[in-house]
């Protein structure tokens, strides 16, 4: 075999979901992210089962066996559960036990609380114990709107005596999407600036827009500026002085229609 092989099976029902998967790699298989010298599972198999626990909770358990090219065999048993405390708050937790050839069994655990602070804003507090070290994190995230507007993400991670963090701010305008981020990890800091946009030719005019991710459309109200346009009941912008509003994403193929 010169590359990876994969097979999977999943059988959901109203009360129980079970599945299995398997994948294999040749000893020298390589990609852009996997060097031929890196260790890899020559064969990895996994089975899982999940079920609801009443109306507000669910539980998923999984077993994985992997035969690595260099490190040998490894077995992992894990369980994950989430509980909806209120309409805005959810508790999640998990535990995993692993056995690896030539090493002591290792137990990792995590727990967290997620709170919705609005339709687009979520705060998450989490704790984890991994490889014998305790760690915690706090994150607040506000997703971008469908139309013009801001989004952001801020996170602080603390493990032992080290503290890492991330701040990411995005703005989505009628002519592009702009992002500035700063991250500190393992003692190193990184700053990244991104800008992306697109050009759409439709209705006899070329428009500068946000990146086109799928289909696109044009809302026309000839000669009327400032008319709000909506996709799936969410505002995506207003018509310009000519009464045009390009819609660069979230569009499916549909018959031509006029307002």
Please, which contacts does 72-78 make with residues 24 or more away whose CB atoms are closer than 8 Å?
A: 72/100, 72/101, 72/102, 73/100, 73/101, 74/98, 74/99, 74/100, 74/101, 75/99, 75/100
Query: Residue 156: which residues within 8 A CB-CB, separation 6 or more?
Result: 137, 138, 139, 163, 164, 165
Q: What pLDDT score does 108 carry?
A: 94
Sequence-ordered strand ranges (E) for 70-211: 72-84, 89-100, 106-116, 121-130, 133-142, 149-159, 162-172, 177-185, 188-196, 198-202, 205-209
Name 171's bridge partners. 150, 178
Which run of H or E residues covers position 7? strand 5-12
Largest Cα separation within the chain, whole Å, is 75
Q: What pLDDT score does 2 carry?
A: 45
Q: What pLDDT score does 113 carry?
A: 98
- Are 80 and 91 in contact, with CB atoms under 8 Å apart? no
Q: What pLDDT score does 1 carry?
A: 42
Q: Please name which of 37, 33, 59, 36 lies closest in space to residue 48, comparing C-alpha atoms.
A: 59
Q: What pLDDT score does 130 carry?
A: 85
Give the span between the Cα atoms of 195 and 171, in whole angstroms.
Answer: 10
Please, which contacts does 171-176 make with residues 24 or more away whose CB atoms are closer than 8 Å?
A: 172/144, 172/145, 172/147, 172/148, 172/210, 173/148, 173/210, 174/148, 174/209, 174/210, 174/237, 175/208, 175/209, 175/210, 176/208, 176/209, 176/210, 176/211
* Conformational region of residue 187, where left means phi above 0, alpha means psi within -120 to 50, and beta covers everything else: left
Q: What pLDDT score does 9 carry?
A: 58
Dihedral sign (CA 23, 27, 29, 33): positive
Name 9's bridge partners. 20
- Are 17 and 2 in contact, with CB atoms under 8 Å apart? no
Per-residue pLDDT of the chain (259 residues; tens, 9 = 90+): 445 555 555 666 568 889 999 988 887 777 777 777 887 788 899 999 999 998 899 999 999 999 888 888 889 999 999 999 999 999 999 999 999 877 788 999 999 999 999 889 999 999 999 877 899 999 999 999 888 899 999 999 998 788 999 999 999 988 899 999 999 988 889 999 999 998 888 878 888 888 887 778 888 899 899 999 888 788 888 888 888 888 887 555 555 555 4
**What angle (nearest 5°) sits at the alpha carbon of residue 50, between those of residues 22 and 53?**
170
């Amino acid at each position: 075999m010169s590359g990876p092989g994969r097979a999977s099976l999943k059988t959901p029902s109203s009360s129980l979901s079970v599945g299995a998967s398997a994948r294999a790699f040749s000893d020298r298989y390589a990609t852009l992210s996997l060097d031929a010298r890196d260790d890899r599972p020559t064969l990895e198999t996994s089975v899982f089962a999940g079920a609801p626990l009443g109306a507000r909770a669910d539980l998923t358990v999984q077993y994985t066996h992997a035969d690595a090219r260099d490190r040998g065999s490894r077995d992992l048993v894990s369980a994950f559960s989430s509980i909806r405390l209120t309409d805005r708050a959810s508790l999640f937790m998990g535990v995993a036990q692993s056995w690896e050839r030539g090493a002591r069994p290792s137990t990792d655990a995590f727990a967290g609380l997620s709170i919705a602070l609005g339709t687009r804003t979520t705060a998450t507090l989490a704790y984890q114990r991994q490889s014998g070290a305790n760690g915690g994190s706090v994150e607040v995230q506000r997703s971008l709107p469908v139309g013009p507007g801001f989004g952001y993400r801020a996170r602080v991670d603390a493990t032992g005596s080290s503290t890492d963090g991330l701040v990411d701010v995005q703005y989505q305008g009628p002519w592009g999407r702009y992002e500035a981020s700063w991250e500190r990890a393992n003692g190193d800091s990184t700053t990244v600036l991104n800008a992306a946009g697109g050009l759409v030719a439709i209705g006899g005019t070329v428009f500068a827009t946000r990146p086109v991710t799928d289909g696109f459309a044009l809302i026309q109200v000839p000669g009327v500026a400032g008319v709000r346009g909506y996709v799936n009941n969410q505002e995506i912008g207003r018509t310009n002085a000519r009464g045009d509003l390009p819609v660069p994403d979230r569009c499916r193929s549909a018959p031509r229609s006029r307002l």
